[in-house]
Structure 1
Amino acid sequence: MSDFLMPSLGADMEAGTLVEWLKEPGETVKRGDIVAVVETQKGAIEIEIFENGVLESYLVEIGNKVPVGTPLAIIRGKDATIEEAKPERKAEAAKTAEAAAPQPPECVEKAPDAPAKSSKTPRIEGERLRITPAARRLAAQSGISLEMLSNASNDIISLSDVEERIGGTVASEKFSMRDAIAAAMSRSKREIPHYYLSHTTDISVAVNFVAETNKNRAPEERLLLGALYLKAVAKALSKYPEFNGHFTDNVYHESSAVHAGMAINIRGGGLVAPAIHDTESRDLNELMTAMRDLIIRVRAGRFRARELSDATITITSLGDRGVDQLFGIIYPPQVAIIGIGTPARRPWVHDGILVPREVATLTLAADHRVSDGHRGALFLRAIDKQLQSPEAL
């Protein structure tokens, strides 16, 4: 027997709300299966399982908010005897959920109940959510938490129910996201001794390579500079591994693989940096496919737990925002973040001649407990070198 736990999805997460079970008790599950969906400030996160077995029973009901590490369900081995979850285990999980729920301040007098504005019945805590596909899509696209919706009179959440909720909810959730980001970044600046470096590089060869590659490709198959940036960073890390890993319990743990976190804006405000796993072993086309898939799912408010927890370094690019450079703040427990400014045409000395070239400024924010400015400078130069040979990426 083992417990399926509420995972930690980053330094800014303390609790999550269970909004959907995707497996029923008695179903066989295997490593990598999506078992549940948890709502956090960042959106709806698909939670994977990391062992093979059978989902024996739920410990937490839909709609309950519980802290990280709380058992959500019991998993048993395929050959183990079926055993119903003990009542005390369920009671303990319910008590944990109650403690995690927001409580009114003790010293504030409770205001009289406002008159109801709708005849719809609020969803009962623990009740399985029933929602139409169109309503679910709109809720995801608008950043609406499913557990905040009310049931229609026929007990199924409809498109109009979501539309009714959109007006007042998006703004409040945006502020919740900003609070979470602020907490994580405050912790980072408080605990991590940052140092910063910048390096401007000629990316003309990379830009021309992308243009030439895309000549005969359909729009949905075209390559973007972002894929080259990801692969260049991943290849440079093979020589400078002290920038690729996690610092936990006062010890640096180097990662054997590069799981590059790609910073993506969330619709309605906020930022996440989910990981593209095994970046170093994918070719440019595979990276481009992974980037498209990730961006689509993140902007729909749907991504997976491992994508948030596994990133070993973060890469953030301003794209066409028109800013020369940005200096990021390290996302704990990572130890480095690479920033890439907007490419721009500038006067540049190339082969001894002053000519116009496409250039971009690379920046590095790194953890002084793990590396120093000398190694950081070499790391930035190594990324530069990789971008000069895009055909080899």
Structure 2
Amino acid sequence: MDGYIGIFLIVIAIAVFAVGGMLLLLRPRRRQAPPVVPPQAPEVTDQRPGGTAVVEEDAATTTIPPPVRPAEPVAPPAPVIEIPPPSAGRMVRLRARLARSQTSLGRGLLDLLSRDRLDDDAWDDIEDALITADVGVTPTQMMTEELRTRVKVLGSRDRAEVRGLLREQLLAQINPDLDRTLHTSPHGDRPAVVLVVGVNGTGKTTTTGKLARALIGDGRKVLLGAADTFRAAAADQLQTWGERVGAEVVRKDEGADPASVAFDAVSKGITDKVDTVIVDTAGRLHTKTGLMDELGKVKRVIEKKATVDEVLLVLDATTGQNGMRQAQVFAEAVNVTGIVLTKLDGTAKGGIVISVQRELGVPVKLVGLGEGPDDLAPFDPEVFVDAILGD
């Protein structure tokens, strides 16, 4: 009996192992992950100008932009250097502009002198016309007396004869024999020095820039000194003029000693072998004695290095007799050698040319006849008188 039990247990054990083996065989297997394939770079099929590549990818065209390059710094553009026209004949070219403002004076005088009968009232009207034009009282009386004498001698007269008489008298008062040469030529190894003076508002700094432009147009090498240190705008304005025509500007900070700026400008002019140094001074009120003394100091300091060849006094022609008072005060502070009359095209009071020369004994050398850069012209008495009288 015990033997049958043992056999039964053995059979049971074999059956259990058999069933377990079948279960292991029937269990589903796990899938293995597919191998990872690294992505391939797209094939370049075309290379276009500018570095842009065109590639084929899965039958679709893809454009790859070129790499962005860092922006390079852009230098500011250099100022354009202008080539000014020469100053010769400039007043002739500007004659029409002068005539527009002065012809009323000439025509009025011609009409008065062409009357059939010249009584005392007519001569009073002639005197009034001349005085209104700022000819001045003394020159007016001299002209009127001379005209009276000449008219009596002529007796009957036509308009052409009257025009000839008036032209002769105007020229005599303006004095065409005065030396109007602008002394801007260097002396050996030293440049000519031009000092520009005048009160505020006369166009002094603009005149300095225009004069530099005219000299460069005549073939001169010019250096500018910005000695108006009371206004930063004056130095900036002069710098702009210099850059336009290629003239270097010596300047210092606002409030610096004007005499120091003038001295440095002349020193640099000598070193750089320029032809002309033009020094722009502050627009000083003629009532300020201290400032006028300072102007004298500027001139004395310059003379330690070079000769001051010209002291040009800039006057506004529209100010009339007030300009005369300014001229007298400046003449006492520095030795004025020439007058620059600005805005002469904007006034009918061209007679100030006569009065200012008579009072100072100094010739008008330059006139401003407009706002343009080339509207500064050497003064020509005959062109001026002809413009007044018309053709």
With structure 1 as the length reference, what TM-score do the two structures score?
0.23
Which structure has more RCO (C-alpha within 8 Å, separation ≥ 6)?
A: 2
For the pair shown, which has the larger CA radius of gyration, 1 or 2? 2
